[in-house]
Structure 1
């Protein structure tokens, strides 16, 4: 697996702003999983940070440790933008720990954990047992097989594991095709495609991103049912994946999708 704290260019660690963006993305994805408007019962959001001494300053800067209300304002802004319905008076608390407490929500690439505390009614995060795999049939990625879980957030696909866009935004490619691994990987866009779990339809959907639609690099699906090929021409329309479907990236890489 890639080293999350390495940028696309060079060996410089992720700066405080990039780190802040990733932590906010993590929080947003967990809040979006709250069922039935239960975000209104949120009493406190506790963030646990477990880092080495040399990493501490970067995390303290990212989380505005000198003025913690600023980070809470960032979370509230995300909640407002995505209609997450957080109650008035909710609190954000940051703990720096040597070990994560039991039951903390973690993300492998981040050295932070999350606990959502409720008032009046429990805050439940939607859980689904469905798991799927993506096996690299053609091309060279950082792994041969990727396991993905329903409801765990967006899974980006592209060239290189971490990418900074022209607008300064940071993108983490979970399924990454390093340019140095194979010459043909250069035809895969840094922002090629992504998968999302659709709760209402109970399925994984594939979306082409800006770099994966015409006239640039293309994203296609070869169906398991009849081996027909579908090209994704829009970033707004998702394709429902079924076991045996193959995702084709720029005609140089193929991933086979299987539900477990």
Structure 2
């Protein structure tokens, strides 16, 4: 048995953007750790498929709530439904996000706004609604999924980098405001991971060679590499850890 400070069995956790990729892997890890897990996305049919698969693979109680995390009213109604169905939320993982690549001078205003809403505003809206309820109970764990782009930049993804840098500082600001209420807010920042959203980059041998050379671990990350850090940030083991960004990047942010 693991040390009791890592025990999160029976906790209720919401993971936004969790129908696939990193979000689904994080939800899967929380389910394996004994949490009641609520998946979230926009499409009810996709969410139900993910819910059934996660429940079958983990044996956990897994629910799904489809709502738009960029819509204030939808968020408020969605969080209320979740707590009615599953009980008070103990854990929130703000994972919803998207990428759009284009040169800075050619980036369209509507794509900039879409990235801001999806990657940054959603964490504010869902975080605020959840924190209001957590603060009344005097406890809670919020994990914002940041990125190596919270600290580093590369060509073609300037707006994405801006949103992830903003999410890092949102995390620190939430820590300052919510810490006195017994809520810990931290960031988990993945490096370059082999996911379906990165399939084209993984298939690009020149880019993959650059990743392997640039990363001390010498490889792309696997989604399973993120689960241990998430469980730490969601457990009593991190009760005195607040406002921190933990990079799970194979060492990329530590070297030139």
**TM tier relative to shorter chain:** 0.3 to 0.5
Determine which structure has the larger strand proportion and give its number: 1
Determine which structure has the larger helix proportion and give its number: 2
Higher relative contact order (CA 8 A, sep 6+): 2
TM-score by length of 2: 0.34
